[in-house]
Structure 1
Amino acid sequence: MSTPDVLVVGGGTGGYSTALRAAALGLTVVLVERDKVGGTCLHRGCIPSKAMLHAAELVDGIAEARERWGVKATLDDVDWAALTATRDDIVARNHRGVEAHLAHAGVRVVAGTARLTTARSVRVEGVPGQGALDLTARRGVVLATGSRPRTLPGLVPDGSRVVTSDDALFAPGLPDSVLVLGGGAIGVEYASFHRSMGAQVTLVEAADRILPLEDADVSRHLTRALKRRGIDVRTGARLLDAEVRKAGVRARVRTVRGETLAVEACRLLVAVGRTPVTEGLGLSAAGLATDDRGFVAPVDWTRLETAVPGVHVVGDLLPPPSPGLAHASFAEGLLVAETLAGVPSAPVDHAAVPRVTYSSPQTASVGLSEAEARARGHEVDVDTMPLTAVAKGMVHGQGGMVKVVAEKGGGQVWGVHMVGPHVSEMIAESQLIVGWDAHPSDVARHIHPHPTLSEAVGEVFLTLAGRALHQQ
């Protein structure tokens, strides 16, 4: 199959979802991947990190059982080898599942590194048993090469003392102390994990708050919770320099007050964002170029098609408003596959893509923050309810809140924001509320189960609809 209908370059979440949907629509598909299908999310990001965070949740549960509930449990030790073996088994089973799904769908997977030679053709180098292979697509090429962690000048990751999010959980053993640079979702999750595992953690963020892209109340609640857990959160702070030593790293940090803070840690995690992978892709041969941030921007967001007809882009190669999240990549892959098959498909509503940080406590949100809604000229009504105001929130005892931003006078819901235990499992309802342009009264007439954390969501919408029950 040297001339498939669709040629997908990159087998991460955006790439393999494109391939699966295109094949289901009757198109012939070749997917080129130089590493393993599943991409960063499956092998180095979403899945292994959430497996480790679940282990951290179990460790936290032992402490809560002892200190809060009178269950005299103790933690003898963390068997790092057993813990990582379970993580790796979860990843491996998911990997085999993706491979089997692609094979069952009839997608031909070619191992190798692809370089565009024209807008519809690629040369694949390093193909096992073949060396090089030339492929041409009849309908279109889909670029899905993903992203890699950004680094800082002078900090060279070594996989042990200085690590990125790609290798942090694969570094040897559990460190006694960690310095995390970057207070976005990745940095916060890794800070939370290492604190649960007993490390002393310093979290440094250059912006004036952690999770700077989230609602300010989310940042405030999470900062308070992380500090209660003993994490030293430093916002408005910048790394001055770092010296890698035999036993770890010694760094100097400029604090928000202009003071210099010396931090010694066994490990330094650089979590300052990710950058698109386009090196060696041969964009110029196809008449393409990246923007000044390294993204491959589409000219038609309803089709995710570039300035070169027939060349589409999905996943982390896309600039904002695409959020660079795996579940957004799935939706983008579906859209592009359906576009190439000539099937009507609704554009991806990136504003309604839910965002989750899997720290302890978690955060989850969808839609506009209060500040964003006001900046767009909306007059808004806002209601916030602490999770400790509902019985199930008291049971969990982690604090947190639900906040809803809606058009003044009972109008459209612009955003829903949460902090607390398991809010990652609560946000799907709010994604529908925001995505379907619902009003508080639309939600208020539906009954939330009692006692649950989701009750707080129902209570906030009752209040905004003028039917407050437990809120004064």
Structure 2
Amino acid sequence: MADTFDLLILGSGPGGYVAAIRASQLGLKVGIVERERLGGICLNWGCIPTKALLRTSEVYHYMTHADSYGLKADNVGFDLGKIVDRSRKVAGQLNAGVKGLMKKNKVQVFEGVGALTGKGKLQVTQGDKTLDLEAKHIMIATGARARDLPFAKADGKRIWTYRHAMVPEVMPTKLLVIGSGAIGVEFASFYNDMGADVTIVEMLDRILPVEDAEVSEFMTKALSKQGIKILTKSGLEKLEPGANGVTAAIKGADGKVTSTEFSHAIVAIGIVPNTENIGLEALGVETERGQIKVDGFGRTNVEGIYAIGDVTGAPWLAHKASHEGIVCIEKLAGGDPHPFETWNIPGCTYSRPQVASVGFTEAKAKEAGHDVKVGKFPFIGNGKAIALGEAEGFVKTVFDAKTGELLGAHMVGAEVTELIQGYVIARQLETTEHELMETVFAHPTLSEMMHESTLSAYGRAIHF
């Protein structure tokens, strides 16, 4: 007889395992199926281990620039094996933490490959054995994988995806990064700081194309100043791996194709949802371009089948998946949560400098019909930023001129991935410029720039 549950979750990433915990808290009997490692891609091969790598490159940058702080650091170098090992240990520690959380919350974990076999039925393949499970509710949280170039699939030797780029056996000498979204820019930043000669190729007219145009422009200048070569309006025509590197044929903005040799290439051109071979078609679950169609509560068109996270579309972010999962669980458990929306999900890029944003860009706000007031404040006007030796960057805020609504916030500079949450909370609370102006910000802090940017939008900036 099949094991029965109130809820079965296929996938244990930040959407799946968080949903499992919340469901258990609400009294449901929960099982979760994972084919690789608890925590999914984010914890094991994405968000967390990449930040460990980026922390290493940040420290290395400070060591090689110690003289700027009146310090001496001679014969600075690094051990690539130890860098990778530290990153993997960080991921391993958190994987163990998720295992502990599953046990604490009485969530039964099934290791294996899961697939829907009928309404309320899920089969788990464990080697040469199969296990049949049943549940009233089944949630799909299988995430996504890196998109390959159609003409040059990643081989792990010379052509890498993000997974290969996190565990390099050798340090690239001349690196091509294909794509300039958050993943591409983060790896470009890491490898450049570690001494590689880095080139970014982007088909669109600017890097970090989802960010505000001024942020993209600033990042282009900042990364170029660091030595990264940036080719926008450029496409990859061919990528041929060889014994000692890869040859890239790049069509530039002028239409000319040039052939360049690189030691390695990282493909960062997006992701593909993991929706194949899990039984969706047999049950008639609706998809669009491989993404599962859901309503604001994670419900698919098939009763009892839910989906959250990367399999449901953009934004492809861990915190989006987690929140989406909680909304879904609270609704199916009989609660009355607000339907999930994407209007207030922050985005972060952990490069050097960092980028963070939430809400409308200035251009998108205008396209949506808003009459806007825009404020900007530079890091060079902030005492804490100058003291830190991090005086490059700015904070930009976009308000509705009529209502004072905070439409969007955009930051570039040191630690802005931590600062952005202040604006996210402000938007969630429907804060206007008045409340932000009346709020007291501690001195000296980087957060004072958030206040000054708001004041700037209304012609009241004090320190610039």
TM-score (norm 1): 0.95
Equivalent of 1:297 in 270, 288, 293: 293
Q: Distance in 2 between matches of 1:75 and 1:254?
A: 41
**SS of the residue 2:60 aligns to:** helix
Report the equivalent of 2:276: 279
Equivalent of 2:240 in 240, 243, 258: 243
Q: Distance in 1 between matches of 2:99 and 2:214?
A: 42
Report the equivalent of 1:347: 339
Shift of 1:433: 1.4
Q: 1:410 to 1:336 in 2, by over 3 A?
A: closer
In the alignment, is the contact (CA less than 8 A) between 2:179 and 2:267 conserved in 1? yes
Q: Aligned Cα RMSD in Å?
A: 1.4
Shift of 1:415: 0.1
Q: Distance in 2 between matches of 1:50 and 1:398?
A: 22
Shift of 1:397: 3.2
Does residue 156 of structure 2 align to residue 162 of structure 1?
A: no
Report the equivalent of 2:300: 306
Shift of 1:418: 0.1
Equivalent of 1:426 in 416, 419, 422: 419
Report the equivalent of 2:366: 374
User: What amino acid does structure 1 have at the position aligned with 2:144?
Assistant: S
Shift of 1:61: 0.7
Q: Distance in 2 between matches of 1:265 and 1:72?
A: 34
Equivalent of 1:212 in 209, 213, 217: 209
Q: Distance in 2 between matches of 1:246 and 1:179?
A: 16
The equivalences for 1:2-17 within 5 A come to 2-17=3-18
Q: Distance in 2 between matches of 1:83 and 1:75?
A: 18
In the alignment, is the contact (CA less than 8 A) between 1:6 and 1:28 conserved in 2? yes
Shift of 1:76: 3.0
Deviations 1:54-90 (A, max 9, x none): 0000011112322x23423235321112222211111
In the alignment, is the contact (CA less than 8 A) between 2:64 and 2:76 conserved in 1? no
User: What amino acid does structure 2 have at the position aligned with 1:420?
Assistant: G
Report the equivalent of 1:131: 129
Q: Distance in 2 between matches of 1:118 and 1:285?
A: 8
Q: Distance in 2 between matches of 1:451 and 1:398?
A: 14
Equivalent of 2:454 in 448, 452, 461: 461
Unaligned runs of 5+ in 1: none
Q: Distance in 2 between matches of 1:147 and 1:83?
A: 26
**SS of the residue 1:110 aligns to:** strand
Equivalent of 1:387 in 379, 388, 408: 379
Unaligned runs of 5+ in 2: none
In the alignment, is the contact (CA less than 8 A) between 2:286 and 2:300 conserved in 1? no
Q: Distance in 2 between matches of 1:224 and 1:435?
A: 33
Report the equivalent of 2:114: 114
Shift of 1:264: 1.5
Does residue 439 of structure 2 align to residue 441 of structure 1?
A: no
In the alignment, is the contact (CA less than 8 A) between 1:179 and 1:263 conserved in 2? no
**SS of the residue 2:65 aligns to:** helix
Shift of 1:398: 4.6
User: What amino acid does structure 2 have at the position aligned with 1:305?
Assistant: R
The total of aligned residue pairs comes to 462
**SS of the residue 2:15 aligns to:** helix
In the alignment, is the contact (CA less than 8 A) between 2:13 and 2:38 conserved in 1? yes
Shift of 1:410: 5.5
The equivalences for 1:82-101 within 5 A come to 82-101=82-101
Report the equivalent of 1:200: 197
Shift of 1:261: 3.0
Equivalent of 2:313 in 314, 319, 324: 319
Q: Distance in 2 between matches of 1:280 and 1:74?
A: 55
Does residue 53 of structure 2 align to residue 65 of structure 1?
A: no
Shift of 1:466: 5.1
Shift of 1:113: 0.9
Shift of 1:114: 1.1
User: What amino acid does structure 2 have at the position aligned with 1:310?
Assistant: G
57-66 or 185-194, larger mean C-alpha shift: 57-66
Q: 1:26 to 1:251 in 2, by over 3 A?
A: same
Shift of 1:15: 0.7
In the alignment, is the contact (CA less than 8 A) between 2:375 and 2:458 conserved in 1? no
Report the equivalent of 1:412: 405
In the alignment, is the contact (CA less than 8 A) between 1:234 and 1:255 conserved in 2? yes
